[in-house]
């Protein structure tokens, strides 16, 4: 598996998506993302596939993640083609729904920020910043963003759990 390493990430919940004008002022570039969680295996408790489209270009990835400590996770990722993405859909975790979101990527105060506006589950807006080290200084956040609070350690806002959170139970007669 290529792309192995550590993911050190902090996350903030926003009250609402920024306006198109605010996104433009930040120089944000949109990426449409569909993310599907796969059934866990003993060697990979969190597995997902992701299909991303930016400027008409389609990319697919397979990722495995494991929590290490605090905000640090081990992440192994590799690019896959659309045929493998489609094949892996057969391994989708039945307890989770696909995540669909538009990610707006931009630079601010020396960091790369990723602002996710979720379609599924609806109404959630999260801002993520990855860091080189766990004790990185407090980042500056753009004043255009209506930040409610930091949710870095709130597992309810991990994408793997959001995929379960919006799961609609089967209706019984």
- In sequence order, the 6+-apart residues with CB closer than 8 A to the CB of 141 are 12, 108, 109, 127, 147
Assess if residue 129 is contained within a domain: yes
* Digit-coded pLDDT (tens) for 65-76: 988 877 888 899
Token couple for 96? 């989770």
Burial class (CB in 10 A: 0-12, 13-18, 19+), 169: exposed
Assess if residue 172 is contained within a domain: no
Assess if residue 130 is contained within a domain: yes
Which residues span the domain enclosing 24?
5-165
Q: For residue 169, name the pLDDT band (cuts at 50, 70, 90).
A: very low
Helix, strand or coil for residue 83?
helix
CATH of the domain at 105: 2.40.320.10
Return the pLDDT at 2: 53
Assess if residue 68 is contained within a domain: yes
DSSP 125: E
* Digit-coded pLDDT (tens) for 28-65: 999 999 999 999 988 888 999 999 999 999 999 999 99
Assess if residue 170 is contained within a domain: no
Indicate the number of domains in the chain: 1
Assess if residue 43 is contained within a domain: yes
* Digit-coded pLDDT (tens) for 87-104: 999 999 999 999 999 999
* Digit-coded pLDDT (tens) for 110-143: 999 999 999 988 999 999 999 988 888 889 999 9
């Amino acid at each position: 598996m290529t792309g192995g390493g550590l993911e050190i990430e902090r996350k903030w919940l926003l009250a609402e998506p920024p306006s198109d004008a605010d996104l433009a002022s930040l120089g944000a570039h949109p990426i449409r993302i569909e993310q599907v969680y796969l059934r866990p295996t003993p060697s990979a408790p969190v597995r997902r596939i992701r299909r991303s489209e930016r400027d008409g270009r389609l990319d697919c990835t397979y990722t495995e993640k494991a929590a290490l400590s605090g905000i640090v996770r081990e992440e192994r990722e590799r690019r896959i083609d659309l045929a493998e993405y489609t094949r892996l859909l057969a391994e989708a975790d039945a307890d989770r729904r696909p995540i669909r979101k538009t990610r707006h990527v931009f630079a601010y105060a020396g960091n790369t920020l990723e602002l996710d506006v979720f379609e599924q589950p609806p109404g959630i807006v999260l801002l993520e910043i990855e860091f080189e080290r766990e004790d990185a200084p407090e980042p500056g956040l753009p004043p255009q963003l209506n930040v409610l609070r930091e949710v870095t350690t709130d597992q309810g806002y991990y994408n793997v759990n959001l995929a379960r959170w919006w799961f609609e139970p089967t209706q019984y007669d």
